[in-house]
Amino acid sequence: MLIFSFFKTLTDQVITVELKNDLSITGTLKSVDQFLNIRLDGISVENPERHPHMMAVKNCFIRGSVVRYVKMQARSVDTNLLEDATRRGELGGHLSPSDQCRGLKM
Amino acid sequence: MVWSLIVSRNFASVLLQQDNRLDQPGSGSLTYLYFEMEEAANASISEPLDLVKLALGERVFIKLRGDRTVSGVLHAYDAHMNLVLSQVEEAVHIVDVTEDGQAMPLRVDRRQMEMLFVRGDGVILISPQQQ
Amino acid sequence: MDALIPFTTSGSLVDLVDKKVLVVLRDGRKLIGVFRSYDQFANFLLESTVERLHHQLDYADKDIGVLLIRGENVVALGEIDLIAEDQVPLRPVPSQEIELKIAQENERRDRDHAVRDRVLEAHGFVVDGREGDAY
C-alpha cells in the first residue's frame, strides 16, 4: 500500500515508465491502482522509429506487471517522509494520519 | 552498545555493517542512531527484509533481471521488493553480436537517474554497498 | 461491492470503452480494435480486431474479429488518436512481404540471443529467454 500511496502523490506529474520490453514512455500520470497499473496522458515514446505502433497513441494504460522502472524528478519526492513511512510500516506499510496530512493520502 | 547486542543476537552480519559505520567519523547522526536503537528494540530483527530496513537512507547495490545492476540511495521498499531509490546509477551489460555471429566483448552502458522506482519482480539481490 | 472495483480503480479505463485502441501483448503482438469491455484483471474484449505486423515504417493488417484477451498477456492499451493516425509516416504493404522480413529478423535475433546468452551467463547474469519471457 505504501508504494501505491507513493504513486498517488505523483498524480499529474510527468514520469517516464520503462517497460520490461525496453519501451520507454513519458507522459503525465493520470491514475494508478493497487496493482500499480498506470494511466499516462500526452505520451511520447523514446526511439519512436523502433516502436512505430505507438506513433498514433496519445494516451495509454500500462499493466503494472510489465513495468521495469518508473523515473521521476527528485523534487517531486519527499524522501524523509518515505523513509519514515517505510521504517514504521508493517511490511507493505500503512501510513499514519500525520502522513496523510503531509500529502501521502491513502 | 545495547543496540549492537540486540542486533547481534538476531543478525550477525548486520552488526558488522553497523559497527563499521560507527567507526567512521561523521557517519550518521546521534538522533538517527537513537532512532535505529529504538527500532531494533521494538521490532525484532528476524526476517530477511529487516536488512533492507537498516539500509534505508543508505546506498545499496541491486542486481536485476535483464543483465542490469543498479546503485542508489534507498528511500522506500515493500514486501514485493518494490524499491524507491535516488542518485541512481544503472549499468546495463550488453554483448553485441556481429553479422557473422561472433560475440563482441562485454560492454557496459551506464545511465544516471535522479529518482527511480524499481519494480520488485525484477530484483535478484539487494546488498548494502561498501563505500 | 467487488463488482465496483474495476470502476473505482484499474486506472479507470471506462473512458476508453468504444474507442479505437491498440493492445500490445507480452509476445510482442500488436492488436488494433474497438475496445468494448474490461475487468479488474485487465482482461479486454475487442471487436473488429486486426493484428498489425510492423517492419520499420511498413505495416500489414490481418483480420481477426472479436477477441477476448486474458489480462496477464497484456503489456499496454493505448487509445489511437484518429487525427494522428492519418499523419503518421507508416506505409501499408502486403502481409506476405512483411511476414518474410519479420521471419528473417527473428532468425537473426534467435541466433544472436544464443551467442549473447552464453557470454552473459559466463559473467554471472541470469539468462532470460526471448521476447516475452523477460516478463
Establish if B102 touches chain C: CB-CB under 8 angstroms.
Answer: yes
Structural domain boundaries, residue B81: 48-128
> Which chains does chain C touch, 3 or more C-beta pairs < 8 A?
A, B
Number of domains, chain C: 1
Establish if C119 touches chain B: CB-CB under 8 angstroms.
Answer: yes
The minimal CB distance from B66 to the residues C115, C119, C128 is found for C128
C74 lies in some domain: yes
Structural domain boundaries, residue C7: 2-92
Establish if B12 touches chain C: CB-CB under 8 angstroms.
Answer: no
Contact residues on chain A for C128, CB-CB shorter than 8 A: none
Residue A12 to residue A31: CA distance in whole angstroms? 8
C63 lies in some domain: yes
Tallying the residues shown for chain C, one arrives at: 135
Contact residues on chain A for C39, CB-CB shorter than 8 A: none
* Paired sense of beta strands C58-69 and C91-92, if any: parallel
Give B69's pLDDT tier (boundaries 50, 70, 90).
Answer: very high
* Stated pTM of the model: 0.81
A44 lies in some domain: yes
The minimal CB distance from A92 to the residues B35, B39, B78 is found for B78
**3-state SS string over chain C?**
CHHHHHHHCCCCCHHHCCCEEEEEECCCCEEEEEEEEECCCCCEEEEEEEEEEEECCEEEEEEEEEEEECHHHEEEEEEECHHHHHHCCCEECCHHHHHHHHHHHHHHHHHHHHHHHHHHHHCCCCCCCCCCCCC
Q: Among B27, B26, B25, B34, which residue's Cα sits nearest to residue B1? A: B34
Contact residues on chain B for C125, CB-CB shorter than 8 A: 67, 93
Give B36's pLDDT tier (boundaries 50, 70, 90).
Answer: low
- Whichever domain contains B106, its CATH number is 2.30.30.100
**Could B75 and A72 be called an inter-chain contact, meaning their C-beta atoms sit closer than 8 Å?**
no
State mean pLDDT over C81-101.
Answer: 94
A102 lies in some domain: no
C130 lies in some domain: no
Which SS3 state, helix, strand or coil, does residue C56 take? coil
Number of domains, chain A: 1
pLDDT digits (tens, 9 = 90+) for B117-131: 999 999 999 999 765
C108 lies in some domain: no
C24 lies in some domain: yes
B23 lies in some domain: no
Contact residues on chain B for C126, CB-CB shorter than 8 A: 65, 67, 124
C45 lies in some domain: yes
Structural domain boundaries, residue A41: 2-84
Amino acid at A59: N
- Whichever domain contains A79, its CATH number is 2.30.30.100
Residues of chain A with pLDDT under 50: 91-97, 100-103, 105-106
B22 lies in some domain: no
**Could A52 and C84 be called an inter-chain contact, meaning their C-beta atoms sit closer than 8 Å?**
no
C38 lies in some domain: yes
B80 lies in some domain: yes
Number of domains, chain B: 1
Give B37's pLDDT tier (boundaries 50, 70, 90).
Answer: low
The minimal CB distance from B82 to the residues A3, A74, A77 is found for A3
**Predicted local distance difference test score (pLDDT) of residue C126:** 79
A97 lies in some domain: no
Chain B interface disruption, residue of C109, C115, C121, C128, most B CBs within 10 A: C115
> Nearest CA to CA, how far is A53 from chain B (Å)?
24
A94 lies in some domain: no
